[in-house]
Chains A and B, each alone.
Chain A
Amino acid sequence: MNVTELTAQDASAVAVATLGLDAEAIGLTSPEGLATSLRRAASFMCPTSPGRLVDAVLGALKPLHDGDLQRDELVDVLDQLVASGDLLELRHESGRSTRLLYLAPPSYIERVPGTYLLMGVRPFGAPLIEDELAEAIEYEGHTRILTVDPTGADGELRSRGLQRVPKDRWVASPRAESPAEFIARHRARLDVIAEAGQLDGLVLLDPASKVRYYRGRWRAPDPADSGDFVARRPQAYGADLWCLIRFQAGAPQHLLEFPVDDPVVPGRDEAWRYQAADDALRGTPQRFRLRRGLSPNADVTVDFFSPLPGFAERYVQFSGLPLGKTPGVLFSFRLHAEAVDDVTTFLTDMLWMTYEEDSSGD
C-alpha cells in the first residue's frame, strides 16, 4: 500500500481522473465535474433525497474547494440531471408518501446520425460506458454527448446495455392546451379536493412578482393572500413537495399535490407549467432572450429567466448545448441557427412564453 500526501490541487486532479474525466480539461467544481460527482453519489445512495445527495457531494468537495463552491450550484446541477433524465424523482411508499431520487436506466437518444445524447446512471459507481468508447464522450455542462460512426452505432450502444429512446418518448411533452384551459382544469380539481390541514414551512411563488427573477418570486404566505398559488413544502426526508394551494386571507383552504397528470415527472415540472400558464393569463408571460451572432448562420444563445419544466428543458437540450451561468440569467443554451425557430415555436406553444431579440452578439 502507498500513502501519498496531496495538495488540494493534486487531490482535485486525482478525483477528476477517478471520476473518469480528463483532469487536464475539466475541473472538479466545473458543471461537468459536479454533474459527474452527483451521478456517482446517486449511484451508491439512491433511492435518496436530493438534500442528502447534495450534502454528500458537498462533503467530499468542500475540503478541496471551500471558498468557491456554493450549495445552490449543486442544487441547480442536480435539477438539470433530473430534468434531462439522468435521475428520476419518483414517489416512494414507506408508510407515508415521499418523493425520492432514483437512477434512470442507461439510454441514448440520436440527435443526428453519429451524435447521441447519453442518459442514465448505473448503480454501484459503474461508468455508463467503460471501455475505449468512453473516450469519445464529450462532457458539456450536465450533458454527455457521444460522437461515433453512425454505422453500427446502435449495435455498439446496445451491446453495452444502453437502450435507444425515441426523441418523443424522451421529451415526453404533455398535450398542448391554452393557458386558460390549463388553469381551469386545475381549478376544477382544486374545487373538489378536501380541505388542507395544518401546513408548516410553506413557501409560495408570488404571481405578482417579476417573471425575470425566479429566485425572488418565492416568499412566505401573507395574510393578504387569496387565490390559487404554486407552493412547496420541505420534507424531513425526501424532495420538496410541490403543490397548488387555494388561500383565503392567508390561510390554506385546499391543496392539490403535483404531479397531477403524470406520476413519473417531478412535481415541480407541473408546478412550473402551471405558473407559466398563470403568468400568461395575467398578461406577464414568462420570457426568454435570443442573442444572435454576427452572421445569420452563427449559433444563437438562448437565455432563460425562469426554470423550464423537464419536458421543455429536454426539448431545448436536444438541439442545444447548455452554457455556463451569466449574470441576470438563470441558465442559457446555445442553439444552431436553424434550430431556433423550432425551439421558439415549441416554447411559445407549450409554455406560452414570449421572447426578445438581443442582437449585441454572443
Chain B
Amino acid sequence: MAGVAPSSTVELLQHFHEALDAHFSELRDARAGFEPSSPVFALEHDLGMAELDVLKDAVRAAISDYHLAHYRATWLPFVVYAAEMGYGYIGDEYWNTFSSLTPRWTSQERSTIRDWFVRFHTHFAGARPTGAWASHFTIISWPITHAVLPIYLQRNLAQLLFEFSGAFTSELLDDPPSLGIRLARRATNYTERFRIFCENTTLVGHVAAALLSGEKEPTPYLTAPTLARIVEGLTEERQARNWLKSARASASRVRGFRSAGSAIADRTNATRLPGATDPHLFLRRDDTWNAYAELPDLTLLGAGLPEFYSQLRALRASVNGGARPIPPSGLLYPGQEVRFARWPQTTQPFLRLERGDDESNRILSDQCVISKGPWWLFRCQGTGLAIEVKGKFVRPGHNYVLLGGDTLSAPAVPWCTETAIGVEGVKAYELMVPPHLNESEESDIVAAGLAIVSHVAIRPMGIVASAWDGEGEVEWLAGEPAMLGIRSDLVPRQARLVVDGAVYFLEWTQGEPELLFMLEGLPVGTHEVGVALLGDGDRQLASGALVVTVRDPQVRPEGATMGEGIRLLATPTRPTLAELWDERAVVTIDGPVGTEADLWVALRDGQGAVLTELHRTVRVPLEGIDWRTTAKTVRADHRFSDAYDAAESCTLTVTRDGIGFATLTCERGFQPLRWRFARSHDGEVVATLVDRTDGGSTSLDFYDVEAPLTAVQMDAGEPFTVPPRGGLAIATAGDAVAAAILPTNPNVLMRMSQSRPVVTSQSDSGREVLRLAEGHQRWIGADLPADAFAAYEQQIVGDAIARSIGTLIGGSHWGAVERKLARADDAADRLDDMQEAVGVSSEHKALASTIAYSLYKWLKPEELLQGFHEVITPHLAGQGITGRPSAPRFLLMLAGRPGYITGWEPEEASHLLADVLKSPVLYRAARFAVLGTRALNDAEGVERSF
C-alpha cells in the first residue's frame, strides 16, 4: 500500500483557490442577468463546516509562514477567511479579533486584504461597500460587507423586518435596492452599528429579500447554504426567531399581490399633493381661537441624508410665524405643537433651520409646506377644536372657521361672522353653513376661492384611519385596507372612481344611502381618489375627491410619544455617552405634574451586560436644569465613575407603574479612536488608545495642565501613565480625532502644591488671540472622564487661557486686574477694580457704571445677552462697528468662552476681532459683564454663563 503524504499549506490553498474560483464564477454567471443586479458575497463560499475549518487552518498556517504577497496566486481562501472573521466578530474591533485568531498577523498587511477584496469585486461581481462608513473605513468595510450579516447584527435585522412588515408589497420584495432604502429609513432608532450596516442599502435590501423569501424557497440573492446559516443564527434566540417568522408570514401573504405601482412615480400631474411631512394646522379655542401647527417627525426625511440629519439634530428651527423657535432636534420627535403668533407668510418657507445650509433649508422648504392662501378653512370638530380642510371646500350643515389676510373681504353671506383670533396678520370668521345654500350664497363662497360639496361625502369607515381631517384628507398605514364609504342623498346608478388616474365603475345598490368599498395594496405615498356619481344615462349627479396618504408604519421612539404618560426627550436627539454626561446634551422628562417616577441609569459593556445600575427618584416634569442636578449626583456616585470608562453604552429608563415608560440609549459610538483608562489600586491611571482605524498613521499629542498649550508628541501605540493632575490627550488619524481630559490621581493630587497653568502670549495680534482661543477650545471641547477633579483641572486651564486673552486684549491696566482676580478668594471683591479698569474717559466710565448696576439683572445668559446688547450697541456704533448684529454675542463669547469663537464664521470672526483689538474698551466691557455676573451667580449659574 503506497503512503500518501499530507498536503502542504500551499497545496491546500491551491486546492481551495481553484474550487472557490469555480464556485464564485458560477455564481457570478448565474446572477449576471438579474435586474436589479445581485452581487456575490465572499461568505457565499458554500463550504461545509469541516472544509471551512481546514481552510481556516491553512490560511493561519500560511500567514504565520510568509507575508501575504507570497500567496498572491491563491488569494481567494484569504478573502473567505477575512469575510468569516467579519461574520463572527462582536462589533467592537475587527482587527483585534482577526489578530487574536491569526497567529503572527501584522497590521501592515491590511491593505493587501483590501486589494484582494477589490479583486473579488472585479472578478466575480462581488459586493462593494457603500455609505459614509465605507468611505471612512476603507479596509474593514470590505470583509464586513462580505460577511453579509454579522452575527451581532442579526437580531436587529429580524426586529426591523418585523416592524416594517406591514409595509411589505410584492413589488418591494422583488426590488431589493428599494427595500433596502425603505428599511434604512426605518432604522433610525436602532443602534449606531446597525444604522451603519443599513447605510449600505443595497446590501440590506438583498439580505432582507433573501431572509423574507420563505423557508425552503430558493432566493436569487443568496446561496441556499448561506441563507440557511443566517436563518439558523437568527433562530437561536427566541425573540429574533419570532420576529423573523412573523415577518416572513407577512411577506408570504403579500407576495404575488400586484399593486398599481408607485404613486409618486406615476403621477404626471404637476399639482403638489399634501404629504406626510407637511404640518397639520388646527385651531383651538382657549379664550379666543388660537392657531397651531403640529409639526411632523422628520426623522425619515433625514434618513440617507446624514448632513441634513445632523443639522436637524443640532440646529434650532424657526416656524414661519411661530410664537417660539423649535429647539435643536425638535423636528426629530413626533407631535411638536407650535402656536402661531403671526400667520405664516406664504412667500417664505414654513420651516427654516437657523444657520442651516442652503440645501437643508431647500429640503425643508420643499417637504414641509402649508396649503396656499388666501383663505385657510378649518372645520369645527365638536367644540373648541377646528382642523384645517386643505381642499378648502365647505359642506352644507357644518361649521367652519375661515382665516384670511387683514385686507381681504369676507364672503358676503349672512352666516359668516367675524370672530376673535390670537394671531396677527389674519382675521377669523365663523361660517355656520346652513343645510341649504341659495345661488347667491353659493356664488359668494365660490368667488372667495372656496368650493361647496353637497350631495356626496367620501369618508373612511370600518376602522379609524390613522389620520382624518373630517373632510377630504385621510391617512392609513401601509398594509391596511383603505375602507371608504360614499354617501349621497341622490339616487345614483353607479359611481365612477378614479384612483391615481385608473378608472373603476362601482354599482350603487338601489335604496342604499352609502356605497362601501375598499382599496387594497395602495403603495406608500399620496393618492388622489376622485368620485363622480352617475345617474341614468351616465349623467353626472355630483362629484367629490379625497386625498389618501399611505405611510409606512411608524415606530415608537424609545423616549415615548406625545400621547404617552411619561416622555423622555434629549437635546440633541440620540446623544452619545460622552455628550450625555459631559453636559453637552440635556434630558427633559415630561409627565403628570407633581408625580414621582423612578429613574434608572445603567452602564453597559460592549456585549450589553450591565456594569452598574443606579436608581434615583425624580419628580416630573423634570426640566433641563433639574436634569443637570440629577446628572451631577449620578456622576459623583463612585459606582458610576468606576464603570464609566469601560462602558460602551448607557440606558436611562424612567418609569412609573401604569403611567409610563421611556428610555434613552446612548452609545459610545463607533469611534475610530477611543480612550480607555485603567486605574490601579493606588489611584494611578494608565491611558490606552483604542485604535480602530485601518491605517497606521495615528498621532498623539499630550498637553500638561501646567503647560496647556504646549503639545508633547507621544507614541499612539503605547499605553502611558497619566500625570497626577491629568492633562489633555488628543489622538488624530486622518479625520478621526479622540480628545480626552485625562483622569487625575486624587490621592497624589491632594498632596501636591497647586501651581497655576502657564499660558504665554507672544503678540497682541488677531492671529495670537485665535491661537489662544483654539487652545481653549481644545480643552473645553475634549471628552471628560467621570472624575470631578479632571473637570476642575479643565476649568482651571480654561480660565487661565481666557485670562491670558484678557491681558492680551485688555491692556496692562486690565491685565493687573486679571492677575488680582486669579488670586482672589471671591471675585465679587474685585468688582470695583473691574469697573474702574473698563476705561478712563467719561463715556467709558458711564458704560462701566451701567454694566455694574445691571449685573444683578443679568444672571441668566439670555438676560446678559439682551442687556449687554442694549448697553454696548451705541458704543459699537461709536467705534464704527455697524451692521453686525452678532457683535455683542461675539464679545461675550470672546470674554467668557473664547474657544467658541473658533466655530464662528471665519471671515466675520476675523473682522470682529480686528475691531476689538482696535477698541479694547469693548472687550473690557464684555469681560467685566461676564466676570461680574459670574461673581454674583451661584455655581449652577456660572456653569451656564457665557
Contacts and interface: CB of A to CB of B under 8 A. Distances in A.
Interface in A130-170: 130-133, 159-160, 163, 165-166, 169-170
A12 interface: yes
Interface in A310-356: none
B595 A102 contact: no
Interface centre among B477, B487, B561 (most CB of A within 10 A): B561
Contact-residue bracket for chain A: 35 or more
A172 B464 contact: no
B593 A93 contact: yes
B593 A19 contact: no
Interface in B449-473: 459-468, 470
B435 interface: no
Nearest to B522: A1
Contacts of A125: 466, 477, 553
A237 B385 contact: yes
B565 A88 contact: yes
B225 to A, nearest CB: 27
A272 B777 CA distance: 62
Contacts of A95: 286
A307 interface: no
Given A1-B259, A125-B466, A130-B162, A14 B518 contact: yes
Contact of A52 (B385, B520, B521, B660): B385
A170 B656 CA distance: 11
A3 B497 contact: yes
A63 B459 contact: yes
A237 B464 contact: no
A247 B626 CA distance: 42
A123 B564 contact: yes
B554 interface: yes
B516 A11 contact: yes
Contacts of B593: 91, 93, 263
B466 A11 contact: no
Interface string A18-59: 110000000010000000010011111111110110011101
Interface stretch (A103-111, A287-295, A298-306): A103-111
Interface stretch (B96-104, B235-243, B371-379, B903-911): B235-243
Interface in B515-566: 515-523, 553-556, 561-566
Contact of B554 (A119, A124, A133, A238): A124
Nearest to A134: B246
A39 to B, nearest CB: 10
B517 A6 contact: yes
Nearest to A164: B657
Contacts of A175: none
Interface stretch (B357-365, B499-507, B678-686): B499-507
A28 to B, nearest CB: 8
Nearest to A45: B563
Interface string A162-193: 01011001101000000000000000000000
A247 B236 CA distance: 69
B461 A63 contact: yes
B31 interface: no
A3 B506 contact: yes
A194 interface: no
A224 interface: no
B783 to A, nearest CB: 32
Contacts of A94: 284, 337
B483 A11 contact: yes
A263 B621 CA distance: 13
B660 to A, nearest CB: 5
Nearest to B502: A1
A193 B555 CA distance: 46
Contacts of B504: 3
A90 interface: yes
B592 A91 contact: yes
B659 A88 contact: yes
B553 A126 contact: yes
A4 interface: yes
A84 to B, nearest CB: 10
A105 B658 contact: yes
A360 interface: no
Contacts of B502: 1
Contact of A14 (B462, B553, B595): B462
Contacts of A48: 563
B246 A131 contact: yes
A313 to B, nearest CB: 14
B383 interface: yes
Contact of B499 (A1, A18, A238): A1
B462 A103 contact: no
B589 to A, nearest CB: 14
B245 interface: yes
A104 B464 contact: no
Nearest to A59: B459
Given A3-B519, A131-B246, A163-B655, A15 B385 contact: no
Contacts of B398: none
A268 interface: no
B516 A131 contact: no
B57 interface: no
A60 interface: yes
B255 to A, nearest CB: 15
Interface in B470-511: 470, 477, 480-481, 483, 485, 487, 497, 499, 502, 504, 506-507
Interface string A87-100: 01011011110000
B884 interface: no
A4 B655 contact: no
Given A1-B521, A18-B463, A172-B658, A105 B286 contact: no
A235 interface: yes
A84 B519 CA distance: 36
B564 A37 contact: no
A125 B479 CA distance: 12
B556 A123 contact: yes
Interface centre among A90, A123, A165 (most CB of B within 10 A): A123
A12 to B, nearest CB: 7
B483 A236 contact: no
B661 A105 contact: yes
A199 B659 CA distance: 31
A124 B556 contact: yes
B115 to A, nearest CB: 44
A2 B521 contact: yes
Nearest to B529: A3
Contacts of B414: none
A208 to B, nearest CB: 31
Contact of A132 (B242, B382, B521, B659): B242
Contacts of A8: 516
B483 A123 contact: no
Nearest to B562: A47
B514 interface: yes
B749 interface: no
Given A105-B659, A237-B385, A1 B260 contact: yes
Nearest to A12: B462
A122 interface: yes
A119 B553 contact: no
A102 B383 contact: no
A132 B562 CA distance: 29
Contacts of B470: 59
Contact of B285 (A6, A12, A15, A236): A236
Contacts of B554: 123-124
B369 to A, nearest CB: 22
A131 B594 contact: no
Interface centre among B284, B518, B655 (most CB of A within 10 A): B518
18 contacts: A1-B502, A1-B520, A3-B504, A3-B506, A3-B517, A5-B517, A14-B462, A42-B563, A43-B563, A47-B563, A61-B461, A63-B514, A107-B658, A119-B658, A131-B162, A166-B657, A263-B592, A263-B594
Given A2-B521, A11-B462, A123-B554, 12 more contacts: A3-B499, A3-B504, A6-B517, A15-B483, A52-B381, A60-B462, A61-B462, A94-B284, A105-B659, A124-B555, A125-B466, A169-B658
